[in-house]
Amino acid sequence: MIVMGIDPGSRATGYALITKKGGRFQLIEAGVIKTNTKKTIPERLLEIHTGLQEIISEHKPSTIGIETVFYHHSSEAIVRLSQARGVALLACAQAGIPAEPYNPTTIKKSVGGHGKATKKEMIRLVSRLLGLKKDLTSDAADATAIAITHLMHSSFKRKLR
């Protein structure tokens, strides 16, 4: 089973694809869709949507985890984040792949053991869980943490059935 994680953002949308083999998480691919900040918001949203469609089409994940919108001090930032999340959800729906939402605290608890892990801690933990020699970028690490969380929660749900 290939699990995709998406960390939506209007400037940078992180994505990651992982699987689990022999009890270990394995990274298939992780990266960032960076938008041109000189373009209009609709053009940037199209870049995100097109990028995610290409990644989903290439890797054909079984399921997708996506970060929820969280509190931010700027209402404008929340709107842009929500728009980026919306086009990400649209790309998932167009591919017919279910997307499960996870809030930042759940992601941090699942990967870091507590809900207050810092960005640096999360990057380090994700890189160690995958056995990587080099740390992922922040957005790619966040997306990977979302995918790991989704895989952990999905496995847990299946074991209960």
Per DSSP bridges, beta strands 63-67 and 3-7 are parallel
Structure-token pair, residue 116: 């207050």
Structure tokens at 122: 């999360």
Structure tokens at 102: 């996870």
Neighbours of 155 (CB within 10 A): 12
Residue numbers annotated as active site: 7, 67, 139
DSSP 14-43: EEEEEEEETTEEEEEEEEEEE--TTS-HHH
